[in-house]
Amino acid sequence: QVQLQESGPGLVKPSETLSLTCAVSGYSISSGYYWGWIRQPPGKGLECIGSIYHSGSTYYNPSLKSRVTITLDTPKNQFSLKLSSVTAADTAVYYCARWDGYNTNAFDIWGQGTMVTVSS
Amino acid sequence: DVVMTQSPLSLPVTLGQPASISCRSSQSLVYSDGNTYLNWFQQRPGQSPRRLIYKVSNRDSGVPDRFSGSGSGTDFTLKISRVEAEDFGVYYCMQGTHWPPTFGQGTKVEIK
């Protein structure tokens, strides 16, 4: 059973870089699939941030592309998100998820999410 | 980006009664491979989204058959044949045909 778990600081100062990690269990991320990040501001809808293929190719939402970096750490079986120059508008629950690009073109397995607040 | 528009945004329902949610996209969701990558998710309070339906009408494993999806092109519907207590929450449609993937605003299904 594939499971994902986000971790990282819950509070980030404005203008700094938000860094999160997603640990994957039950599947080796180097074997296949895309691995992605989605966020949800409090009381609002869902926004795709981007994803990374098991080969390392990345795909970012154009609205965030200039500030986003997603990387793989295959020895630790995890992947990470960095979002630079954050503002209060980046306050959200951040989810990591598996993107099934082979059959359904959708995020099919999600982590539980982690709340990140941007505040001084 | 493809804009996904759901209606209604709030749906009061009585237990045991049917419910229906509409989702319309600003562009056709038919991909070059002939598939239509329209998905439906359920999000209960305090939980992460759970996918219910993929490619318009295919239920994910473990999803009760009271949930059904239909539609084509730019117009899609999620139906619950008889709402149960565990079905209350927010439902989102999501398109995976065009990058970036985009979600509808969400429809809150609540007790009438």
For A41-69, the pLDDT digits (tens) are 998 999 999 999 999 999 999 999 999 99
Residues 3-42 of B with CB under 8 A from A: 31, 35, 37, 39
**Nearest Cβ partner of B103 from A46, A50, A103?**
A46
What SS3 string covers chain B?
CCCEEEECCEEEECCCCCEEEEEEECCCCECCCCCECEEEEEECCCCCCEEEEECCCEECCCCCCCEEEEEECCEEEEEECCCCHHHCEEEEEEECCCCCCEECCCEEEEEC
pLDDT digits 0-9 by tens, B72-112: 999 999 999 999 999 999 999 999 999 999 999 999 999 88
* Residues A80, A22 contacting (CB under 8 angstroms): yes
Answer whether A115 touches B (CB < 8 Å): no
Decide if A111 touches B, using CB distance below 8 A.
yes
- Put simply, the answer to whether B37 touches A105 (Cβ < 8 Å) is yes
Confirm if A60 and B99 have CB atoms less than 8 A apart: no
Which residue positions in chain A have pLDDT lower than 70?
none
Confirm if A6 and A94 have CB atoms less than 8 A apart.
yes
The larger pLDDT score, comparing residue A43 to residue B9, is at B9
> Which amino acid is located at B97 in the chain?
T
Asked if the Cβ–Cβ distance from A106 to B102 is below 8 Å, we say: no
- Report the pLDDT value the prediction gives residue B111, as an integer from 0 to 100: 86
Whether A64 has its CB under 8 Å from any CB of chain B: the answer is no
Give the integer Cα–Cα distance in Å for B92 and A62: 22
Chain B residues closer than 8 Å to A112 by CB: 47-48
CA distance B49 to A120: 30
Q: What share of chain A is helix, strand, coil (3-state, %, to 5)?
A: 10, 50, 40
Q: What is the pLDDT of residue A91?
A: 98
The predicted model gives B5-14 an average pLDDT of: 97
Using a CB-CB cut-off of 8 Å, the residues of chain A touching B104 are 45
On chain A, the residues whose CB falls within 8 A of the CB of B40 are: none
Query: With an 8 Å Cβ cutoff, is B104 touching chain A?
Result: yes
Write out pLDDT tens, residues B33-69: 999 999 999 999 999 999 999 999 999 999 999 999 9
Residues whose CB is less than 8 angstroms from the CB of residue A94 and which lie 6 or more positions away in sequence, other chains included? A6, A8, A18, A20, A37, A38, A39, A49, A81, A113, A114, A115, A116
How close does chain A come to B1, measured CA to CA in Å?
9
Chain B: nearest CA to A38, how far in angstroms? 10
| Residue that the structure tokens 């439906």 belong to | B40
Measured CA angle at A40 (ends A37, A46), to 5 deg: 75
